[in-house]
């Protein structure tokens, strides 16, 4: 939350300060005795402004609750009294008085309205005030030049009231956004919790966070990175929850297929892995595989893309799901390659795997490896000498291909 004294707070107050200074200066330029002479008109002008506002502004024309009506009448009376008092030279802005109109802005936000109705009410009030002052001024035989100053002061005053209400509205909106963001972060944490919380808690946070629960989600594991740009709230949108303040940041995505391109922009500059799409209740499973995929991606086993999707690497994820077992498979099946130098072992693995993937087609292997077919045949004689009849036995071929694929993937580390 922004605290007073920060550049953001100062910038936000500039419109209020400018409008206040202008209105105060104009009021103070009027003769001081006008304040007392105008006093008897305050109550009548207040009633007339309220009547005109309720007639002219649809949002205030219907039945109003007691609290709303009291707010409208009280604020109007405060506005009229403040204008009268501000005529006295040197009248300083009153924080309590200003808070009345900030509060009106907050009330509009909490009632689910924008500020159009309130600003229209201020304009109506300004016109009514000017009409009364013009009639009164003629009756009092005020000099013509005072009419121009009074008119300018009234409409500067309308700007001041609008600026105060905008400030209150914006503050309420920011406070609400902050509360909603906290509920959404907590909702993300609860959705991926294992074991999951009670369904009532998920539903409660969903309501508070304004995040309708989808049938399916994908969870994105994000690598912690203090130097990466902050995740943009605007890019998160309404369908993505974020928990990025924990040691293991993650996102919960309601419609992963639709959000694919946006996820790329949102995660620019970060490493991440998008887990499988699963029913909402199985979100912890999606997170588990996303984190597994992220670890493999960081080791280079899932390619070089900064953001990878589990759906594109299911075979690799299956193969490396249990590294202890796959290491046992590599050690046993590829034991005949142990005496080879690292370079010769890598070449043998490359040739044997290409042979299996090409179903023993020497020209195809040659094209894949960029060598002559005769070289392929020469190398395969060496492979056969090392591995014996494994290449001809279907069950042994499956084990061999799995071991060779694991060797190739893990050799990238």
Check which CATH number belongs to the domain holding 29 and give it: 1.10.490
Distance CA 250, CA 221 (A): 5
Is residue 191 within 8 A of residue 252, CB to CB? The reply is yes
Closest CA to 107 of 79, 77, 68: 68
In the prediction, which pLDDT does 10 show? 40
Structure tokens, 214: 């989808």
Is 182 a domain residue? no
Is 314 a domain residue? yes
Q: Which residues make Cβ contacts (< 8 Å) with residue 258, sequence separation at least 6? A: 239
Residues 331 and 276 in one domain: no
Spell 41-57 as b/e; 16+ CB within 10 A means b.
beeebbebbbebbbebb
Is 327 a domain residue? yes
Supply the CATH number for residue 329's domain: 1.10.10.2840
Angle between helices 144-191 and 95-110 (to 10 degrees): 50
- pLDDT < 50 regions, the chain: 1-12, 65-67, 69, 90
In the prediction, which pLDDT does 280 show? 93
Residues 241 and 333 in one domain: no
Q: Which residues make Cβ contacts (< 8 Å) with residue 29, sequence separation at least 6? A: 149, 153
pLDDT tens for 181-191 read 888 889 999 99
Residues 315 and 332 in one domain: no
Structure tokens, 309: 């999707």
In the prediction, which pLDDT does 5 show? 41
Residues 64 and 77 in one domain: yes
Is 329 a domain residue? yes
| Residue listed under structure tokens 């034991």 | 335
Q: Which residues span the domain enclosing 49?
A: 7-176
Q: Which residues make Cβ contacts (< 8 Å) with residue 38, sequence separation at least 6? A: 84, 87, 133, 136
| Last residue within a domain, chosen from 176, 205, 235 | 176
Distance CA 386, CA 348 (A): 10
Is 300 a domain residue? yes
Q: Which residues make Cβ contacts (< 8 Å) with residue 201, sequence separation at least 6? A: 190
Residues 286 and 385 in one domain: no
In the prediction, which pLDDT does 34 show? 76
In the prediction, which pLDDT does 213 show? 92
In the prediction, which pLDDT does 189 show? 92
Residues 40 and 161 in one domain: yes
Closest CA to 371 of 354, 349, 346, 388: 354
Q: Which residues make Cβ contacts (< 8 Å) with residue 412, sequence separation at least 6? A: 299, 300, 301
Distance CA 217, CA 398 (A): 34
In the prediction, which pLDDT does 91 show? 53
> How many structural domains comprise the chain?
3
């Amino acid at each position: 939350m922004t605290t007073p004294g920060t550049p953001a707070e100062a910038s936000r107050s500039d419109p209020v300060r400018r409008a206040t200074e202008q209105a105060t200066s104009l009021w103070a330029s009027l003769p001081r005795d006008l304040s007392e002479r105008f006093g008897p008109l305050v109550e009548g002008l207040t009633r007339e402004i309220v009547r005109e506002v309720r007639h002219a502004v649809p949002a205030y024309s219907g039945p109003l609750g007691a609290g709303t009506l009291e707010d409208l009448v009280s604020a109007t009376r405060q506005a009229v009294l403040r204008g009268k008092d501000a005529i006295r030279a040197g009248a300083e802005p009153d924080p309590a008085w200003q808070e009345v109109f900030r509060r009106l802005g907050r009330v509009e936000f909490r009632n689910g309205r924008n500020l159009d109705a309130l600003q229209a009410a201020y304009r109506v009030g300004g016109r009514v005030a000017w009409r009364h002052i013009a009639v009164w001024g003629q009756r009092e035989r005020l000099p013509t030049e005072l009419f121009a100053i009074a008119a300018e002061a009234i409409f500067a005053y309308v700007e001041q009231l609008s600026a105060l209400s905008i400030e209150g509205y914006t503050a309420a909106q920011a406070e609400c956004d902050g509360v909603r963001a906290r509920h959404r972060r907590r909702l993300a944490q609860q959705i991926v919790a294992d074991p999951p919380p009670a369904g009532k808690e998920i539903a409660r946070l969903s309501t508070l966070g304004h995040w309708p629960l989808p049938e399916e989600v994908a969870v994105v594991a994000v690598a912690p990175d203090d130097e990466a740009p902050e995740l943009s709230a605007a890019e998160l949108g309404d369908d993505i929850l974020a928990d990025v303040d924990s040691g293991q940041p993650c996102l919960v995505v309601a419609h992963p297929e639709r959000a694919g391109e946006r996820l790329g922009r949102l995660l620019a500059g970060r490493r991440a892995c998008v887990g499988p799409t699963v029913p909402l209740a199985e979100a912890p499973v999606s997170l588990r595989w996303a984190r597994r995929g992220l670890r493999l991606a960081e080791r280079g086993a899932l390619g070089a893309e900064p953001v990878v999707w589990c759906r594109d690497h299911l075979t690799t994820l299956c193969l490396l799901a249990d590294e202890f077992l796959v290491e046992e498979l590599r050690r046993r099946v590829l034991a005949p390659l142990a005496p080879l130098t690292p370079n010769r072992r890598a070449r043998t693995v490359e040739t044997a795997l290409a042979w299996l993937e090409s179903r023993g087609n020497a020209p195809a292997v040659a094209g894949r490896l960029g060598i002559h077919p005769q070289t392929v045949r020469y190398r395969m004689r060496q492979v056969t000498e090392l591995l014996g009849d494994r290449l001809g036995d279907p069950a042994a071929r499956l084990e061999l291909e799995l071991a060779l694929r694991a060797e190739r993937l893990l050799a990238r580390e």
